[in-house]
Amino acid sequence: MSPTHSNTNSDTQLRIGERAFSAAGAAFLSAIIVNPLDVAKTRLQAQAAGVPYQDACRVPSSYQTNTIIRCPAMHSFSGSECPTGCNRYKGTLDVLYKVTRQEGFMRLWRGTNASLALAVPSVGIYMPCYDIFRNMMEEFTTQNASSLTPYVPLIAGSIARSFACISCYPVELARTRMQAFRVNHGKPPGVWKTLLGVIHPANGTSIFENLRRYRFWWTGLGAQLSRDVPFSAICWSTLEPIRKNILGLVGDETSAATVLGANFSAGFVAGTIASAATCPLDVAKTRRQIEKDPERALKMTTRTTLIEIWRDGGLRGLFTGVGPRVGRAGPSVGIVVSFYEVVKFALQNRHPTSS
């Protein structure tokens, strides 16, 4: 991607390290800002899949049984358990409110370390690869098949996302599990401990058997690809023409401010549309990733999972968590793309031939 469409080829002078640096900074900023909405989306989808969020208001054992306490729904009650309604999330704001009251404000950033461990290398691969593939394909189609040029963003985005998704998937699996399952006592497990919990290495088993268990780290990869590849295809196909039209109004008078504004606007719109369109695939991905039975998890497919979700919840079930997903994806794409392009713009201006 380039600050302006007319400069598409001029950014080829940027080295892969400079592109990766721009993408990593964008990913870091986005992961910190939108993580609470990611937690809300995952909790809603996990709840719909049957993950119990019980004991939310359970009285500690040190309390007397006749102690009157107040649950997050602001109902006073006596005894050791909260009313049933307090244990169920009713929407995005309800998730944010209950997580804050029951688990603490900082738990809204649960899985942020996994998000950063995922986002920095993933976006560091994704964005530079998209840049490189798009520039190569545009050059080829312009010379040989100009009618195919409009489809370049779709193809380049799909290929780049596939590379990034496959290489970083185990961390994505850990992040989803860290956000979906609540920890009532003690320190929550980190990324590595969560991944070890997925494979359940058993003492006394052969080394070969333990190695086979590592395939569970790629449980749900098909669902991830079936969500992310269409998301990228829709996102870039929408983003590129919007960005080109906005920057076309500015002409050659580009600056960091215009690059930021055009890319954030285009990214926000594209991310919102793509996230809404692919929400059913995101629900299927979450359900496959939180499945605790390893054997069943390996047998699940995206198609059978979607059928199961439709059978259990209908259209509403397929779009569980669409609010926080859209609310997260729009700003996230806008932040990542605009930050990436602004840093590239600054680095590009440092090159003597970039003017």
For residue 212, give the amino acid letter.
R
Task: Kindly tell me if the per-residue pLDDT of 328 is higher than 50.
Answer: yes
Q: Whole-angstrom Cα distance, residue 288 to residue 223?
A: 8
Residues 6+ away with beta carbon under 8 Å from 92:
37, 40, 41, 44, 323, 324, 327
Q: Which CATH fold would you assign to the domain 5-53+93-350?
A: Mitochondrial carrier fold (1.50.40)
Write the pLDDT tens digit of every residue in 306-326.
Answer: 999 999 889 999 999 898 899
> What does the alpha-carbon distance between residue 216 and residue 219 come to, in Å, rounded to a whole number?
5
> Contact, 271 vs 235, CB < 8 A?
yes
- Are 236 and 154 spatial neighbours (Cβ–Cβ below 8 Å)? yes
Side-chain-facing half-sphere of 225: CA atoms under 13 Å: 14
Q: What is the pTM of this model?
A: 0.70
Per-residue confidence at 90, pLDDT binned at 50, 70, 90? confident
- Residue 49, pLDDT above cutoff 80: no
* pLDDT, tens only, 23-33: 878 778 887 88
Region(s) of the chain under CATH 1.50.40.10: 5-53+93-350
- Per-residue pLDDT reduced to its tens digit, 159-197: 999 998 888 888 777 777 776 666 655 666 666 677 677
DSSP one-letter code for 188: P
Identify the residue with better confidence: 44 or 56: 44
Q: For residue 151, what pLDDT band results from cuts at 50, 70 and 90?
A: very high
